[in-house]
């Protein structure tokens, strides 16, 4: 039989047997790019992870992430309220330029979001949990949502009380729903004691799918935001009488910082007492420990699915919380317990059991993940990649960082110094963070430190002008 005919018969036979002779494909994104999993908590102080120095709290799964990756201990949330902080994360752009400086303000549509950029690069982009920005996730670059939690369930809301017996004022009409706004009141309306489990369940469902593409999984927990409700099974975790109040506890903040009458501050009576704060902390720690267990479940799912070794996992929070520090309860302030946030990165190419003191912002996570995954960073992104720090090429990214809250507070923080300016009071605070990390000694009136004060104030004001800061306009109008 001629060779050509014999070869044709072999090919025909193999074709009937189900073999394919399509041309070999080039390496796809699944083989060349890592998954990215971003876990975001809500209102979590930076000092609430045992492995990072808290001897009271129990966070075994977060402790494992600390040991497996790199922790940035001087990361900041630039604008310490939920909506604008999340807008900076999503856009990689400061609130002065992304359109969202406060609640209810939409992100500029011309800014490509983190999810849109990764979707364009070939990622499946999925969203789980709290959505607190305009529109909905599927309009901001996410392919699909599970366990979506946002407003719309007011018809089912009823008066309820937190673990301290205080009337609930937050998340009252929030409800689980899908992308078509079908509501699921059977999962609870408002926060429930086991809500973090619902978010973990949805995240795990995504992880356990068959994956043809790398995925970006963005999970937003509500914990440990108020109302604080005791998770089932955690009732004996923390004895309030054995929890020390923060070392910088005060019964009341010494002046009106711009949010004295805010909802957050109304959660505890004035003056604060140690017992009130201890009770609140016992609930707060319990909710974080329950959250920690859900983080562990998600990590276990990634490992069981075989995805862990090719996944960059990021853990952080949208901002911290006072919880009695400086006489405050809420997050609307410029102190370290609030603007400083936990930030842990784990994954291929990221040093294990490493601590970085490089100053950085939450908005840096977007370009950092793109840089680590080989995805082009959009020119609109103002945040900077932290990859040079992770690879050891650089020790620092920013010489100073800036934070802001409405027109009431502005802050500059260098490696050593922090200056806070209150435009509505024309008042300044100056702290030497090297010798006073708890910010208990205001040096702004100390003659020895006037040169430092004036230099930082000049830097802050120059930055404010560059940002076209609305608080400057307001001051000019009031003068």
CATH code of the domain containing 260: 3.40.720.10
pLDDT band at 473 (very low <50, low <70, confident <90, very high): confident
> What is the C-alpha to C-alpha distance for residues 245 and 381, in angstroms, rounded to an integer?
40
Instruction: Return left, alpha or beta for 309; rule: phi > 0 is left, psi -120 to 50 is alpha, else beta.
Output: alpha
Pair 13, 288: CB distance under 8 Å: no
- Is the preceding peptide bond at 224 cis, omega within 30 degrees of 0? yes
- Structure-block tokens of residue 96: 């002065």
Statement to judge: residues 413 and 266 lie in one domain: no
Question: Using one digit for the tens of pLDDT, what is the confidence trace for 61-115?
Answer: 999 999 999 999 999 999 999 999 999 999 999 999 999 999 989 999 999 999 9
Whether residue 12 is contained in a domain is answered as no
Pair 75, 367: CB distance under 8 Å: no
Last residue of a domain, one of 368, 399, 430: 399
> What is the C-alpha to C-alpha distance for residues 350 and 342, in angstroms, rounded to an integer?
17
pLDDT band at 414 (very low <50, low <70, confident <90, very high): very high
Whether residue 148 is contained in a domain is answered as yes
Pairing of strands 144-150, 124-130: parallel
Statement to judge: residues 167 and 282 lie in one domain: yes
Statement to judge: residues 357 and 434 lie in one domain: no
Which residues form the domain of 444?
Answer: 407-478
- Which residues partner with 125 through β-bridges? 216
Statement to judge: residues 252 and 322 lie in one domain: yes
> What is the C-alpha to C-alpha distance for residues 346 and 302, in angstroms, rounded to an integer?
13
Statement to judge: residues 393 and 415 lie in one domain: no
> What is the C-alpha to C-alpha distance for residues 470 and 456, in angstroms, rounded to an integer?
20
Question: Using one digit for the tens of pLDDT, what is the confidence trace for 157-209?
Answer: 999 999 989 899 999 999 999 999 999 999 999 999 999 999 999 999 999 99
Pair 215, 35: CB distance under 8 Å: yes
User: Any idea how long the chain is?
Assistant: 479
Report percent pLDDT > 70 for the chain: 93
Whether residue 357 is contained in a domain is answered as yes
CATH number at residue 468: 3.30.1120.10
- Structure-block tokens of residue 443: 């040096």
Last residue of a domain, one of 349, 379, 399: 399
Whether residue 122 is contained in a domain is answered as yes
Q: What is the mean pLDDT of the chain?
A: 93
By mean pLDDT, which of 2-16, 333-347, 349-363, 385-399 is the weakest? 2-16
Q: What is the mean pLDDT of residues 211-226?
A: 97
Statement to judge: residues 457 and 319 lie in one domain: no
Statement to judge: residues 339 and 416 lie in one domain: no
Statement to judge: residues 381 and 414 lie in one domain: no
> What is the C-alpha to C-alpha distance for residues 469 and 437, in angstroms, rounded to an integer?
28
> What is the C-alpha to C-alpha distance for residues 414 and 402, in angstroms, rounded to an integer?
9
By mean pLDDT, which of 9-18, 21-30, 161-170, 339-348 is the weakest? 9-18
Segment (H or E) for 31? helix 29-32
User: What is the SS3 string spanning 138-188?
Assistant: HHCCCCEEEEEEECCCHHHCCCCECCCCCECCCCCCCEEECCCCCECHHHC
Instruction: Return left, alpha or beta for 235; rule: phi > 0 is left, psi -120 to 50 is alpha, else beta.
Output: alpha
Question: Using one digit for the tens of pLDDT, what is the confidence trace for 24-38?
Answer: 333 456 668 999 999
pLDDT band at 17 (very low <50, low <70, confident <90, very high): very low
Pair 192, 225: CB distance under 8 Å: no
pLDDT at 74: 98
Last residue of a domain, one of 354, 369, 399: 399
pLDDT at 104: 86
Statement to judge: residues 259 and 389 lie in one domain: yes
Whether residue 57 is contained in a domain is answered as yes
Pair 201, 219: CB distance under 8 Å: no
> Global pTM?
0.93
Chain-centroid distance, C-alpha 253: 26
pLDDT at 12: 39
Statement to judge: residues 391 and 447 lie in one domain: no
Segment (H or E) for 457? helix 450-466
Statement to judge: residues 394 and 424 lie in one domain: no
pLDDT for residue 14 is more than 60: no
Q: What is the mean pLDDT of residues 9-26?
A: 38
pLDDT for residue 13 is more than 80: no
pLDDT at 8: 40
Whether residue 20 is contained in a domain is answered as no
Question: Using one digit for the tens of pLDDT, what is the confidence trace for 133-158?
Answer: 999 999 999 999 999 999 999 999 99
- Could you say which DSSP state residue 189 is in? B
User: What is the SS3 string spanning 230-290?
Assistant: CCCCCCCCCCHHHCCCCCCECCCCCCCCCCCCCCCHHHCCCCCCHHHHHHHHHHHHHHHHH
pLDDT for residue 3 is more than 80: no
Statement to judge: residues 111 and 92 lie in one domain: yes
Question: Using one digit for the tens of pLDDT, what is the confidence trace for 355-370?
Answer: 999 999 999 999 999 9
Whether residue 395 is contained in a domain is answered as yes
pLDDT for residue 241 is more than 80: yes
Q: What is the mean pLDDT of residues 55-63?
A: 98
User: What is the SS3 string spanning 407-443?
Assistant: CCEEEEECCCEEEEEECCCCEEEEEECCCCCCCCCCC
Question: Using one digit for the tens of pLDDT, what is the confidence trace for 259-311?
Answer: 999 999 999 999 999 999 999 999 999 999 999 999 999 999 999 999 999 99
pLDDT at 16: 37
> What is the C-alpha to C-alpha distance for residues 11 and 6, in angstroms, rounded to an integer?
9
> What is the C-alpha to C-alpha distance for residues 463 and 307, in angstroms, rounded to an integer?
43
Q: What is the mean pLDDT of residues 370-399?
A: 97
- Counting the structural domains of the chain, the total is 2
Pair 184, 153: CB distance under 8 Å: no
Whether residue 174 is contained in a domain is answered as yes
């Amino acid at each position: 039989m001629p060779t050509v005919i014999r070869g044709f018969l072999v090919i025909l036979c193999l074709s009937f047997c189900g073999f394919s002779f399509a041309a070999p494909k080039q390496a796809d994104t699944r083989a060349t790019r890592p998954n990215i999993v971003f876990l975001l908590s809500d209102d979590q102080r930076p000092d609430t992870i045992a492995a990072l120095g808290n001897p009271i709290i129990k966070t075994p799964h977060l402790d494992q992430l600390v040991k497996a990756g790199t922790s940035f201990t001087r990361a900041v949330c630039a604008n310490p309220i939920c909506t604008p902080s999340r807008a900076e994360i999503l856009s990689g752009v400061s609130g002065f330029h992304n359109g969202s400086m406060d609640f209810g303000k939409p992100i500029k549509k011309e800014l490509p979001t983190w999810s849109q950029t990764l979707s364009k690069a070939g990622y499946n982009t999925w969203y789980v949990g709290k959505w607190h920005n305009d529109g909905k996730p599927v309009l901001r670059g996410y392919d699909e949502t599970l366990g979506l939690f946002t407003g719309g369930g007011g018809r089912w809301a009823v008066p309820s009380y937190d673990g301290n017996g205080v009337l609930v004022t937050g998340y009252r009409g929030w409800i689980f729903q899908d992308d078509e706004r079908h509501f699921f009141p059977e999962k609870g309306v408002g926060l429930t004691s086991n809500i973090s489990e619902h978010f973990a369940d949805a995240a795990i469902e995504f992880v356990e799918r068959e994956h043809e593409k790398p995925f970006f999984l963005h999970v937003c927990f509500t914990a440990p935001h108020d109302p604080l409700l005791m998770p089932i099974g955690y009732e004996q975790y923390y004895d309030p009488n054995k929890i020390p109040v923060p070392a910088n506890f005060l019964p009341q903040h010494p002046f009106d910082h711009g949010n004295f009458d805010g909802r957050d501050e109304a959660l505890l009576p004035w003056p604060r007492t140690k017992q009130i704060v201890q009770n609140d902390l016992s609930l707060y720690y319990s909710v974080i420990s329950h959250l920690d267990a859900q983080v562990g479940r998600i990590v276990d799912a990634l490992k069981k699915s075989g995805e862990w070794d090719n996944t960059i996992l990021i853990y952080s929070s949208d901002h911290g919380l006072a919880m009695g520090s400086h006489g405050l309860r809420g997050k609307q302030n410029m102190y370290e317990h609030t603007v400083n946030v936990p930030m842990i990165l784990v994954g291929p190419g990221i040093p294990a059991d490493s601590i970085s003191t490089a100053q950085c912002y939450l908005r840096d996570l977007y370009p950092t993940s793109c840089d680590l995954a080989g995805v082009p960073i959009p020119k609109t992104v103002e945040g900077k990649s932290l990859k040079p720090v992770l690879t050891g090429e650089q020790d620092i990214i920013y010489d100073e960082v800036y934070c802001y809250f409405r027109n009431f507070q502005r802050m500059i923080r260098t490696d050593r110094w922090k200056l806070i300016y209150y435009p509505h009071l024309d008042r300044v605070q100056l702290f030497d963070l090297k010798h006073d990390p708890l910010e208990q000694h205001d040096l702004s009136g100390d003659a020895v430190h006037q040169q430092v004060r004036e230099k930082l104030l000049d830097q802050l004001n120059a930055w404010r002008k560059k940002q076209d800061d609305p608080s400057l306009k307001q001051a000019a109008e009031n003068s």
